Structure 1
């Protein structure tokens, strides 16, 4: 491949992050969340590498589940949003998928379907996210109906936290209290704690809680979801390094504009490097001047707007940088959260936005 742009995936770091989630959850079962092509890291490759340690995998939809099953993944796969149409239950049955249930019509669809063996159902309670899930009365009614169905095997209660990434926010505890209250009358396994809750809210998953399952997502990929660094978030290992190379170097006098819209104008003699990376690769177009990058392992910054295939960086303090030198856009040196902050977004969007033009290169 002539073009240098690539995303290198450190699979050993990925596994360590999964094992960290297990450790922090006191050894509880952990469903590795690999929806959205494993947050841009390659779902099949990630699942295969975690297959010797992962208790289950979580995906968003039947298409993602089938990609794993067609690739020979044998671990249980959970449909976190459940099935979207009743005819998907044929595949749930055939491949022994776990399905979430969050609406009455899904309960009715299961009741109207014949299964070769009972299906495992994760019943979602809306504890305050107000996205998917039953309210308290609907949750109790769904559980009662599902318990009486021969089509249903194990039932698991689940919920999702809206603000677990906010270290000082009390809303997570309020959600947990609501969830525990509605579950108190049922002897059911519980699935709770996303990455942020695993990292910072031990009451949602610790050894002395009722939790049986946790759901690590973004933390698997080495990015912290927290609004500030914590002791546990600093233990995460970087998984993806997005890199490319310099393809041109030029010298500009003071007062010269760079890039579309002339957003950046030089204030002094400036050495400019052009990098083979742009928004068609998934790098954010709206990254601000000053967004960090590393050239030859030395930190510098973006100057000028990111274009479709290229971006420009400041080499003024890097007089030895030359065409062909490596550039890290995020990874071991450049924190993906810092890049996300400079683009007014989050690491999730950066990872999932990597396009097919960027090859994924795996190392273990």
Structure 2
């Protein structure tokens, strides 16, 4: 999708805040910890190439979700180690080898298919994914892990890493987290050989369970100034918001009492009032359920009235403002603030989803 640069709706990315957040998270970690930045999903909606280039001197490598995301980084000149966390179709293994991209092996069947297809696995770096209780991808017992290690050795592939992913590291109750950690440690004990990289720590684990870190961490959400726990757990140190979203009033009208606004006529003005229109809608990631949420104009909260349309929203203003008046949807305005977490709370979702839904139609400006 081509960014719509000829309209006033835009996302600003504070690259210095990104680097600051990385420093905050890594301070409590062991000195020799390998830090991989998770930049999947267009760096959580923040713009992957500028984000990766900003972090290049601060991290050991990058994690992505699929092969195409990894190749995008390579094409942009990123030479760091890159790990694909998801399952890559076996016909993509040769591309990964050519680009020196590390792959996840999540099942014995997948690796056996690659061998049966006579694919050249020599020198391809693999990380074995262990499912300790997340239930998505990965093997679940030591026997299968050791079979994978043996088969990788037979193919002269590199057994570069082993990892798992915690389901409840961002919750106050540690019971399930401790069960997963214990299972992962048991599997490590049974390994015939230890790989160079062992990692179980995502953002939440690195923040609230730093004592469980192995020798590599995968940092995503916290880099972008977001709390992986939402509001359940407090961050032990301050983070800076990286993303802000702004627009401008492109149309203003005074409506009489009893006027209807938007599809379905779901809002009727209770009195004479000023209504402003903004060029942003659900095609940009401001979903229809945001009706009733308030944005900031001149340091004042202005509610979204009427249904959110594909390309536009309407807001109730306290007075008439000139065309071009700035509007803050995420960010600060004269001591008032609207955060990604505010959006998530209003929608009953998580901050991860909010930023990932912001579409590529909104141009990103990295400063």
TM-score normalised by the chain length of structure 2: 0.88
Query: What CA distance in whole angstroms lies between the structure 1 residues aligned with 2:309 and 2:22?
Result: 36
Query: What CA distance in whole angstroms lies between the structure 2 residues aligned with 1:237 and 1:153?
Result: 38
In the alignment, which of 86, 91, 100 is matched to residue 87 of structure 1? 91
Query: What CA distance in whole angstroms lies between the structure 2 residues aligned with 1:227 and 1:345?
Result: 9
* 2:206 corresponds to 1:198: yes
Counterparts in 2 of 1:230 and 1:68: CA distance versus 1, 3 Å: same
Query: What CA distance in whole angstroms lies between the structure 1 residues aligned with 2:217 and 2:261?
Result: 48
Count residues in correspondence.
353
* 2:166 corresponds to 1:164: no
Q: What is the deviation of 1:51?
A: 1.0
In the alignment, which of 200, 209, 216 is matched to residue 219 of structure 2? 216
Counterparts in 2 of 1:17 and 1:146: CA distance versus 1, 3 Å: farther
Of stretches 86-95 and 58-67 in structure 1, the one that deviates more from structure 2 is: 86-95
Q: What is the deviation of 1:301?
A: 2.4
Q: What is the deviation of 1:12?
A: 1.1
Corresponding residue for 2:55? 50
Query: What CA distance in whole angstroms lies between the structure 2 residues aligned with 1:177 and 1:339?
Result: 36
Helix, strand or coil at the partner of 1:148: helix
Of stretches 324-333 and 258-267 in structure 1, the one that deviates more from structure 2 is: 258-267
Q: What is the deviation of 1:90?
A: 1.0
Corresponding residue for 2:279? 276
Q: What is the deviation of 1:238?
A: 1.0
Helix, strand or coil at the partner of 2:284: coil
Q: What is the deviation of 1:204?
A: 3.0
Q: What is the deviation of 1:229?
A: 5.6
What is the 5 A alignment of 1:1-364?
Answer: 1-27=5-31, 28-84=33-89, 86-109=90-113, 111=115, 112-115=118-121, 118-146=123-151, 148-149=153-154, 151-186=156-191, 187-188=194-195, 189-205=197-213, 211-228=214-231, 230-232=233-235, 235-289=238-292, 291-316=293-318, 319=319, 321-332=321-332, 333-363=337-367
RMSD: 2.2
Paired residues of 1:25 and 1:202 also in contact (CA < 8 A): yes
Query: What CA distance in whole angstroms lies between the structure 1 residues aligned with 2:270 and 2:236?
Result: 39
Paired residues of 1:285 and 1:306 also in contact (CA < 8 A): yes
Helix, strand or coil at the partner of 2:322: coil
Helix, strand or coil at the partner of 1:331: strand
Q: What is the deviation of 1:2?
A: 4.0
Helix, strand or coil at the partner of 1:286: helix
Paired residues of 1:253 and 1:268 also in contact (CA < 8 A): yes
Counterparts in 2 of 1:77 and 1:342: CA distance versus 1, 3 Å: same
Paired residues of 1:284 and 1:343 also in contact (CA < 8 A): no
Q: What is the deviation of 1:234?
A: 5.9
Paired residues of 1:34 and 1:43 also in contact (CA < 8 A): yes
Q: What is the deviation of 1:5?
A: 0.7
Counterparts in 2 of 1:233 and 1:337: CA distance versus 1, 3 Å: farther
In the TM superposition, what whole-angstrom CA distance separates every residue of 1:168-206 from its partner, at most 9, and x where no partner exists? 35322221122112212334441111112222223432x
Helix, strand or coil at the partner of 1:172: helix
Q: What is the deviation of 1:105?
A: 2.8
Query: What CA distance in whole angstroms lies between the structure 2 residues aligned with 1:139 and 1:30?
Result: 28
Paired residues of 2:38 and 2:62 also in contact (CA < 8 A): yes
Counterparts in 2 of 1:310 and 1:30: CA distance versus 1, 3 Å: same
Paired residues of 2:171 and 2:233 also in contact (CA < 8 A): no
Helix, strand or coil at the partner of 1:267: coil
Corresponding residue for 1:208? none
Give structure 1 stretches of 5+ with no counterpart: 206-210
Paired residues of 1:292 and 1:338 also in contact (CA < 8 A): no
Q: What is the deviation of 1:164?
A: 2.0
